Amino acid sequence: MRRSVSYTVPSQWEGRPVKEFLRRYLGLSARVLVKQKQTEEGLLKNGLPCRSVDLLSAGDVLELRFPEETVSYEPVEGPLAILWEDQDFLVVDKPPQMPVHPSPGHDRDSLLNRVAYYYKQTMQSPAFRPLYRLDRDTSGALAIGKHRVAASSAQVEKRYYAVCQGKLCGEGTVDAPIGLAPGSKILRQCGEGGQRAVTHWKALAVGDGHTLLEFRLETGRTHQIRVHMAYLGHPLAGGAIHWRETTCMAALEKRSFGRRFIAGIYLFFARRWGWI
């Protein structure tokens, strides 16, 4: 199934070239722009093929067409909470204990299996691109680009929330490389030879020997928050390899942080041409 997206040119882009609109307004990378130019009838202005150097007029409709793409994930029916959807993006609420991608042992029960089923039911292109990863145990908003232009241009900033052991005040940054622990294919630890990892934390509340923290990540290493907090000597509540939402909820209820807590992430999501 071949799909396309269209954008109406604002007045401030009058007299400027198509490529400048695509690069600066829509935020396309140079690589994606080249791909779009190489696609047959990949760029249309008011329904007619155009070149990237052609000049625009206010009110022009610029259409980008994409080649047919095959199904990326097996469609499997299941509940799917949609937070936002338009022609470019789909944002869904990922529940805890569910992997984002299919994997051995989870080839039919991942979040993307459910997204593929939703796309099939709504007759949308079966190809889509998650904009980032979420660990299986983490709940929160997952943004998905519906095509390569959306995936190239999206700006995503996430906030993570979790409860750690011990009392922390103020805020700080952990800049410590993360790699696999010796002899393990799963456990990770801070140490020389690992990949650079940077975590910014901020204490929000303290109670009964635990602290509610907000995190912002500069890098996306596997289990980064858990590993960095253990490195600081303040492991996440529960002490397990994988922090779980139920553990966080129990900690909050027992330590007077309040019951109405959403474990996982808070999402700041923008595209170059407007906030969502």
What single-letter amino acid sits at 179?
Answer: G
Residues 119 and 70 sit within 8 Å (Cβ to Cβ)? no
CA distance linking residue 276 with residue 273, whole number of Å? 10
As annotated, the active-site residues are 135
CA distance linking residue 33 with residue 132, whole number of Å? 22
CA distance linking residue 190 with residue 225, whole number of Å? 11
**CB-facing half-sphere around the CA of 38: CA atoms within 13 A:** 6
What does the longest C-alpha to C-alpha distance in the chain come to?
67
